[in-house]
Amino acid sequence: MANVSKDNGKAQSMKDDAFDRNEYNDMETLELLESLREDMEDLGVTTLAEIIERIEALHKKLDG
């Protein structure tokens, strides 16, 4: 019985570790997206298309 309990504990620990990694990854993604949203608001853009347009315009300006 001790081995079964030990194995169950090990399996649970592995599940907890996987959950912790997933939760950490989700928190990192959330932080990144919130930062991106703030940057977009600061720049006055609301879509990816606007960002691409701005990038192209700045490339033309700097190359010219």
The domain spans of the chain are 2-63
pLDDT at 8 over 90: no
Q: Strand, coil or helix: what is 35?
A: helix
Q: pLDDT tens-digit profile of 14-64?
A: 777 777 889 999 999 999 999 999 999 999 999 999 999 999 999 999 998
Q: In this structure, how many other beta carbons lie within 10 angstroms of the beta carbon of residue 34?
A: 10
pLDDT at 5 over 80: no
Rounded to whole angstroms, the Cα distance separating 46 from 60 reads: 22
